[in-house]
Amino acid sequence: MLRVPRRNWKRYGIHNERGRQTVRRNLELIAGHDLNHLDQIRAIRKKFRW
Protein backbone atom coordinates (compact mmCIF):
# COMPACT_ATOMS: atom_id res chain seq x y z
CA MET A 1 0.00 0.00 0.00
CA LEU A 2 3.01 2.25 0.07
CA ARG A 3 2.37 2.89 -3.63
CA VAL A 4 -1.10 4.33 -3.02
CA PRO A 5 -0.81 8.09 -2.45
CA ARG A 6 -2.43 9.20 0.79
CA ARG A 7 -4.73 11.54 -1.13
CA ASN A 8 -6.38 8.41 -2.57
CA TRP A 9 -7.06 6.90 0.86
CA LYS A 10 -10.20 9.04 1.10
CA ARG A 11 -11.65 7.60 -2.10
CA TYR A 12 -14.53 5.26 -1.51
CA GLY A 13 -16.76 2.58 -2.91
CA ILE A 14 -20.11 1.23 -1.80
CA HIS A 15 -20.18 -2.09 0.04
CA ASN A 16 -23.46 -4.02 -0.03
CA GLU A 17 -23.60 -4.42 3.76
CA ARG A 18 -21.40 -1.64 5.13
CA GLY A 19 -22.29 1.15 2.71
CA ARG A 20 -19.73 3.82 1.86
CA GLN A 21 -16.24 2.53 2.60
CA THR A 22 -12.97 4.39 2.03
CA VAL A 23 -9.74 2.86 0.80
CA ARG A 24 -8.28 3.57 4.25
CA ARG A 25 -11.10 1.73 6.04
CA ASN A 26 -10.72 -1.20 3.69
CA LEU A 27 -7.00 -1.39 4.52
CA GLU A 28 -7.79 -1.28 8.25
CA LEU A 29 -10.25 -4.15 7.88
CA ILE A 30 -7.80 -6.25 5.88
CA ALA A 31 -5.01 -5.66 8.41
CA GLY A 32 -7.31 -6.50 11.32
CA HIS A 33 -8.52 -9.61 9.56
CA ASP A 34 -4.96 -10.86 9.15
CA LEU A 35 -4.21 -10.16 12.81
CA ASN A 36 -7.30 -12.11 13.80
CA HIS A 37 -6.05 -15.13 11.84
CA LEU A 38 -2.62 -14.87 13.45
CA ASP A 39 -4.27 -14.96 16.88
CA GLN A 40 -6.22 -18.05 15.85
CA ILE A 41 -3.05 -19.77 14.67
CA ARG A 42 -1.26 -18.92 17.92
CA ALA A 43 -4.14 -20.32 19.97
CA ILE A 44 -4.13 -23.57 17.98
CA ARG A 45 -0.36 -23.91 18.29
CA LYS A 46 -0.58 -23.34 22.04
CA LYS A 47 -3.38 -25.85 22.42
CA PHE A 48 -1.44 -28.57 20.61
CA ARG A 49 1.96 -27.42 21.96
CA TRP A 50 3.44 -26.84 18.51
Q: What tens digit of pLDDT does each residue of 1-50 get?
A: 778 898 999 999 999 999 999 999 998 888 888 888 999 999 999 999 99
String of b and e for 23-40 (b: at least 16 CB within 10 Å)?
Answer: bbebeeeeeeeeeeeeee
Question: Assign residue 28 a region: left if phi > 0, alpha if psi is -120 to 50, beta otherwise?
Answer: alpha
pLDDT computed for residue 30 by the predictor: 84
Q: Which pLDDT does position 40 carry in this prediction?
A: 96
Query: What count of Cα atoms within 13 Å lies in the side-chain half-sphere of residue 30?
Result: 8
Smallest Cα–Cα separation from 22: which of 30, 31, 11, 32?
A: 11
